[in-house]
């Protein structure tokens, strides 16, 4: 199913995108607190990992990049970043609430950014 849906006749439930669950994988959302996330990543880089991955999807793409820049600024040049962009397909389930409307799935492509942050010297 493609195109717009009628909110009066259909209800939509957005499935969350697939994630890799690991301690050094960070997914930035619109509600993510940047200050807290920066602290957490810094702590991880100092104690446990040499590299962390920051992912941003759709509207939170900007926010993910801001986070990366902030981390680099605070690291005094010891933190390197490799950036990769991609397109992620997300699925929405559409339920019809009347006999006229259709039910089904809707696939949406969303731009994504994946940043690998690692300790190194330029």
Partner 1 sequence: MSQTNAREAYAGSDAFVRERVTQISQLLQLVDNEKLVPGEVTHNPRTLLQRLPRHMRRRAMNKNFKRFPRRLHTTAKSFITTPYKKKPPSRFARRRTRCRLMAYFRRRKCSHWLETHVWHAKRFRMTERWGYKLPLKSFQHAFRPIHRASLRSCCIRDMSYLSVFAIRCSSQETILKKINALSLSNSGLKFSHNKAGLHELSILLYDPELKPQGFIGPARFSWIRLGSQHCLILWIHPATHKEILKHLIAIFELKPENQQDEETKQTDSKKIGIQKQSTVKYTGSDGVEVEDLRNQLSRFRLFGPRSLETIQKVFKLVDLDPQDSSSKLIKENWEKISRKEPLIDGSFFSFPVQDVRLNMYSKKTHSSPNSDLEEKDFVGKTKVIPSLFNNVDRIAAIKKRVTTASFDSERKNFIFNNVAAKVDNQIPIQVITRSKGTGCFQSLDGAEVVAPSEFAMDIWMAFQYHACAASSLHDHEAAHLESSSFLFPTDVPDCRAGDQEFKRIADELEERELARPFNKRIPYWSRFSIRFPFTFEWNLLAQEWGAQEDSYVLRDRSSLVALENWFVGRVAQFPIDLKDTSTLVPVKIRMLAGGVPKRFSILCIPNEDDLKSFGKNPRTKIEQPRSGQMEVDEKMDVADEKVEDSEERLIGFDSFADVISLDPVGPSVKISIAAMFPKCQIVEKSMKRKLLNAKKKAAAKRRKTEAGLRAARAQKEDEEKVKAGYRTSANREICGRVVRGDFTFTESRGVGIGFLPIGSLAVIPKYKNKRVVLVRNTSSKFYRLATISILQTSTEI
Contacts to partner 1 by CB under 8 A: 7-9, 11-16, 18-19, 21, 92-93, 95-99, 103
| Residue placing its CB nearer to partner 1 in the complex, 24 or 96 | 96
Check: CB of residue 84 under 8 Å from CB of residue 64: no
Distance of CA 6 to the CA centre of its chain: 27
Closest CB to partner 1 among residues 32, 96: 96
Rounded CA separation 109/92 (Å): 11
CB of 69 to partner 1, least distance (A): 26
Nearer to partner 1 by Cβ, of 95 and 120: the residue is 95
- Write the secondary structure of 37-62 as one string of H (helix), E (strand) and C (coil): HHHHHHHHHHHCCCEEEEEEEHHHHH
């Amino acid at each position: 199913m493609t195109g717009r849906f009628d909110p009066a006749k259909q209800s939509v439930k957005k499935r969350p995108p697939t994630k890799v669950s690991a301690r050094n994988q960070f997914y930035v959302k619109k509600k993510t607190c940047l200050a807290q996330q920066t602290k957490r990543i810094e702590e991880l880089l100092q104690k446990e990992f040499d590299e962390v991955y920051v992912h941003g999807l759709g509207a939170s793409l900007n926010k993910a990049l801001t986070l990366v820049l902030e981390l680099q600024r605070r690291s005094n040049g010891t933190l390197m970043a490799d950036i990769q962009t991609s397109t992620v397909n997300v699925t929405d389930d559409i339920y019809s609430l009347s006999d006229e409307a259709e039910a089904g799935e809707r696939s949406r492509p969303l731009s994504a950014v994946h940043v690998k942050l690692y300790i190194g010297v330029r």
